[in-house]
Structure 1
Amino acid sequence: MTAPTCPNCAGEVLPVLFGLPTEAAHQAAAAGKIVLAGCVVWDDDLEESWECRNCHHHFATPDRTAWLTAVETAISQHGR
């Protein structure tokens, strides 16, 4: 599964990860592979969501598999 593109500007997007991050998640965020969003999910529809690198538009897609794959790939590159 591939990540979507931004519906606003067609830019590259990163998966947004909510919750208490692990050390590997911190490292993935520092490397620009994911966005850490904190522990509070303000909208259930945005729990598995994306953020555009260019315009910072935040959006969700119905394809949870692409989001999960992107998060797992980013974190596994920095240990678990």
Structure 2
Amino acid sequence: MGVSGVPRCPECGEPGRPILYGLPTRRAQEAAAAGRVSLAGCMMPPEHDEWVCAGGHGWRTGDQEQLAAAIRSAIDG
């Protein structure tokens, strides 16, 4: 786990940013502009990534509660 319970990239060790799929709200867009969340659009592939690092590596943890909490925290700022 990385900073504040955020997972670290399995490839480079950098902290992850949660990936948010779907049409973003204004607050989600602001969180993305601040680098707290990554927006991925409306099309979610079957084997979609849940996290991305600054190096562009994507991965899944399978922990939906952790992911949802990180997205809420990123959007609430």
- TM-score (normalizing by structure 2): 0.88
Moved over 2 A (4+): none
Correspondence 1:59-78 to 2 at 5 A: 59-77=59-77
Q: Equivalent residue of 1:16, what SS?
A: strand
The percent identity for this pair of structures is 38
Q: Residue 52 in 1 paired to residue 53 in 2?
A: yes
Aligned residue runs from structure 1 range 22-61, under 5 A: 22-43=25-46, 45-46=47-48, 49-53=50-54, 55-61=55-61
Give yes or no for the alignment of 1:12 onto 2:15: yes
Match of 2:6 in 1: 3
After superposition, the C-alpha distances for 1:10-69 in whole angstroms (9 at most, x for unaligned) are: 1111000000000000000000000000000012x426x00011x211111121111111
Greater RCO, 1 or 2 (C-alpha within 8 Å, sep 6+): 1
Name the SS for the 1:40 alignment partner. coil
CA distance in 2, matches of 1:29, 1:39: 15
CA distance in 2 between partners of 1:50 and 1:69 (Å)? 13
Amino acid at match of 2:52: E
Instruction: Name whichever structure is richer in strand by fraction.
Output: 1
Aligned pair count reads 74
Structure 1 segments unaligned to the other structure (5+ residues): none
